[in-house]
């Protein structure tokens, strides 16, 4: 008996079964860049939530959340979030994947607007950025927000 695979309207999102398995294996949390940044922040004594929803009514999660300081941190993958430095359009099924990345970028901007409107500070980093530099910027922002009472 063959296993049925869900396909989106209009056909498969993957060019082959092997590509589908490969794409499904990509992690959405606990990526190597996230883990490196979190390890540095933790070593500095900072405590945070991981893959948490900053706003209860918003179905989106930030990679690192400092609730009392109202700071949401995102470490965006270069491919999935359209890094201007590293994004390369796909060669196969390019229409689907390019549209998906555009939707991701649009959702990122929408998320930023919602969080900022609710009084949150949003920091976004690319996966190719130095984990040390990211952690330094995050720690500085946490310190600034805590000292300003926000």
Q: What is the mean pLDDT of residues 63-78?
A: 97
Decide if pLDDT at 1 tops 50. Answer: no
Please answer whether residues 22 and 120 qualify as being in contact, where contact means their C-beta atoms are separated by less than 8 angstroms.
no
pLDDT of residue 65: 98
Q: Domain coordinates of the chain in residue numbers?
A: 79-150
**pLDDT confidence band for 90 (50 / 70 / 90):** confident
What are the backbone angles phi and psi of residue 58, rounded to the nearest 5°? -105, 120
How confident is the prediction for the chain on average, in pLDDT? Answer: 87
Tell me which long-range contacts 63-69 makes (C-beta under 8 A, separation of at least 24).
63/29, 63/34, 64/34, 64/37, 64/38, 64/138, 66/142, 66/145, 68/146, 69/121, 69/141, 69/142, 69/145, 69/146, 69/150
pLDDT of residue 99: 94
**pLDDT confidence band for 25 (50 / 70 / 90):** low
Give the global pTM.
0.82
Residue whose pair of structure tokens reads 């099924």 in the numeric block: 93
């Amino acid at each position: 008996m063959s296993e049925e695979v869900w396909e989106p309207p209009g056909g498969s999102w993957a060019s082959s079964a092997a590509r589908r398995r490969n794409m499904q294996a990509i992690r959405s949390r606990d990526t190597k860049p996230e883990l490196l940044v979190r390890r540095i922040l933790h070593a500095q004594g900072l405590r945070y939530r991981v893959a948490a929803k900053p706003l209860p009514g918003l179905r989106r999660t930030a990679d690192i959340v400092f609730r009392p300081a109202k700071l949401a941190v995102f470490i965006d993958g270069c491919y999935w979030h359209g890094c201007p430095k590293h994004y390369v359009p796909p060669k196969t099924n390019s229409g689907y994947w390019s549209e998906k990345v555009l939707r991701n970028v649009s959702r990122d901007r929408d998320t930023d607007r919602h969080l900022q409107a609710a009084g949150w500070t949003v920091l976004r980093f690319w996966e190719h950025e130095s984990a040390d530099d990211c952690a330094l910027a995050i720690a500085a922002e946490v310190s600034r927000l805590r000292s300003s009472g926000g």
